[in-house]
Amino acid sequence: MTHASSENSGPVIELNSVTRRYGTGTAEVSALQGIDVTIEHGDFVAVMGPSGSGKSTCMNILGCLDTPSSGSYRFMGIDVGQLSRDQRALLRRHYLGFVFQGFNLLNRTSALENVELPLIYRGTHAKERSQKAKKALASVGLTGWETHTPAELSGGQQQRVAIARAIVTDPSVLFADEPTGNLDSARSREIMELLTSFNRDRGLTVVMVTHDAMMASYAKRIIRFRDGFIENEESNGGR
């Protein structure tokens, strides 16, 4: 694939009048009705909005899991809309990390092997792979839990394994889709502290969907969606 342009020139993410429609004819639903978003390196953006406001659709497009119906999405200068399925997979593999509401870890698979998974797809050698995975687990505070399977971990711990899996490849952007949606408030705060620290200490760009204003308050910037449009954007200054 084409090499992405240098990290410091221009924004990481640039959406230009992006729309996304599902279905055809009378059954057509417009989830995004023309949105413009620019996210710079090192930003921490919270995307908020009620259900059906288009925030998840926007997130899928940003995460290169979906493509716009019209408009353009440039990720580090690359027009994602022009990429094939496989090229988008490679983009995800090398530049993006994902954290989901439902954790989405592989069952019956140890924490270490879950974290190793993206490295395996990158072709990292066994020794380096296990070192990196252990380091990532340590960075989320799970040293000593390497051999535990998801069933043996609490929700908060599972989400931390998922974060370790997302950051083990040193991605440019971390996408978190309601990362605290399944957790209690104490566990949620721990997860948010983790994300904040990765953003602050490593300059990791974080884009997070949430409908909890408390969680959004950790972000530097908040984008509110309503009915497929961006309702407002506000700077938060973070904590």
Phi, psi torsion values for 206, nearest 5 degrees: -120, 130
- The least CB distance from residue 186 to another protein, in Å, is 27
- The least CB distance from residue 113 to another protein, in Å, is 7
End-to-end CA, the chain:
38
66 binds another protein (CB under 8 A): yes
Decide whether 83 or 222 has the Cβ nearer to another protein: 83
In angstroms, rounded to a whole number, what is the distance separating the alpha carbons of residues 165 and 197?
Answer: 16
Instruction: Choose, by CB under 8 A, the member of 72, 109, 130, 182 that binds another protein.
Output: 109
4 binds another protein (CB under 8 A): no
Q: Which candidate, 34, 21, 32, 18, places its Cα nearest to that of 72?
A: 18
Decide whether 119 or 222 has the Cβ nearer to another protein: 119
Looking at 27-35, 81-89, 202-210, 220-228, which segment touches another protein (CB under 8 A)?
81-89
In angstroms, rounded to a whole number, what is the distance separating the alpha carbons of residues 5 and 180?
Answer: 33
Instruction: Choose, by CB under 8 A, the member of 21, 41, 94, 226 that binds another protein.
Output: 94
Q: Is 223 exposed, middle or buried (0-12, 13-18, 19+ CB in 10 A)?
A: buried
One character per residue 11-40, x = contact with another protein (rule: CB under 8 A): ------------------------------
- The least CB distance from residue 239 to another protein, in Å, is 29
In angstroms, rounded to a whole number, what is the distance separating the alpha carbons of residues 237 and 218?
Answer: 9
Could you give the angle at which helices 111-122 and 126-139 cross, rounded to 10 degrees? Answer: 130
DSSP three-state, residue 209: strand
130 binds another protein (CB under 8 A): no
In angstroms, rounded to a whole number, what is the distance separating the alpha carbons of residues 76 and 74?
Answer: 6
182 binds another protein (CB under 8 A): no
127 binds another protein (CB under 8 A): no
3 binds another protein (CB under 8 A): no
Q: What does DSSP assign to residue 145?
A: -
- The least CB distance from residue 63 to another protein, in Å, is 8
In angstroms, rounded to a whole number, what is the distance separating the alpha carbons of residues 110 and 151?
Answer: 10
- Judge whether 154 and 186 are in contact, CB under 8 Å: no
69 binds another protein (CB under 8 A): no
Contacts to another protein by CB under 8 A: 60, 63, 65-66, 85-86, 89-90, 92-94, 96, 98, 100, 104-109, 113, 117-118, 120-123, 165
